[in-house]
Amino acid sequence: MADYDPVTKVVIPAAGLGTRFLPATKATPKEMLPIVDKPAIQYVVEEAVSVGLLDLLMVTGRNKRSIEDHFDRAYELEEVLAAKGDSERLSQVLEPVEIATFHYVRQGEPKGLGHAVLCAKQHVGNHPFACLLGDDMIDHRDHLLKRMIEVRDTYGGSVVALMEVPREQVSLYGCAEIQPTSEDDVVRVTGLVEKPPADEAPSNWAVIGRYVIDPAVFEVLENTPPGRGGEIQLTDALLELAGRTNEDGGPVHGVLFRGRRYDTGNKLDYLRTVVQFAAERPDLAPDFIPWLREFLDRHSG
């Protein structure tokens, strides 16, 4: 096995405008919308930390200051909770502060995911890194990111997470053309298309919001023209890397993910996620599930 540089850094793009959740996101970042009582982005951070990645860079934008505040100290609140002897809530407030080391950079203009990743160049340097999108949540019982890092350690290059979606939904994703490898859950990515029409998609294996990326991507992104939607697409840069050898920053492999994913990027899926998380909370489920059953019975038919 070749000796590839270890993955130690995480980039979390969080600069999007969140237009699908207006007016709530006019002043509140969509990444800070709560999943029960914890902002969505904290689950993403916890996922990175669970595999030992403690150096996190968040790519933010205007009106995203509350993200930084959430992962920072709140001395006045801490003092009030301490004075009340409320150790449980004090622990909850301190948890996101102490979980990792945070860095921030602003994406000045909304030029796409590829441009957001490019904003991380100075911090990441010449090191492979994980990239986790804030509106994609992976169940903590499914160790997708750990598996992706293992694949990077084996093959080098970059690794994307792929999930099979219905053919009528492929136009919502980047879709991959793939070839099998000797491992059942690993494929070689030979093509990538951003949001293709269903009849033009190379497969119904969609790229979801988890990546492990070779630093060669920065040089490619610097020379990638705007693509679909007039934005610099990470998909286009990964397509370039897919045709390269290890010496030049390639290739690209995919991990076929068949676990539990929660999409909080649109209203309906966000609501589904909140209900699923609440139904699995031992402190809420005993009261919430009977109420939910009664509510559905009243509104059925």
The per-residue pLDDT for range 118-134, each reduced to its tens digit, is: 999 999 999 999 999 98
Instruction: Tell me how many degrees the CA angle 130-133-139 measures, rounded to the nearest 5.
Output: 90
Q: Which pLDDT value is given to residue 60?
A: 93
Write out the H or E segment, with its range, that includes residue 39. strand 38-39
Residue 34 dihedral angles phi and psi, to the nearest 5°: -80, 140
Q: Which pLDDT value is given to residue 1?
A: 54
pLDDT, average across residues 230-257: 93
pLDDT at residue 278 is higher than 90: yes
Q: Which pLDDT value is given to residue 62?
A: 82
Task: Please check whether residue 296 is in contact with residue 289, taking contact to mean a CB–CB distance below 8 angstroms.
Answer: no
pLDDT, average across residues 167-184: 90
pLDDT, average across residues 221-250: 90
| pLDDT confidence band for 135 (50 / 70 / 90) | confident
Placement of tokens 């490619």 in the chain: 220
pTM score, two decimals? 0.92
How far apart are the C-alpha atoms of 121 and 59, rounded to whole Å? 11
pLDDT, average across residues 32-47: 95
pLDDT, average across residues 240-244: 94
Q: Which pLDDT value is given to residue 115?
A: 95
Contacts of 189 (CB under 8 A, 6+ apart): 160, 176, 177, 178, 238, 242, 251, 252, 253, 254
Show the domains of the chain with their CATH numbers: 7-264 (3.90.550.10), 265-300 (no CATH)
Contacts of 59 (CB under 8 A, 6+ apart): 11, 12, 13, 14, 15, 104, 105, 106, 107, 116, 117, 119, 120
How far apart are the C-alpha atoms of 212 and 42, rounded to whole Å? 19
pLDDT at residue 3 is higher than 90: no
Q: Which pLDDT value is given to residue 44?
A: 96
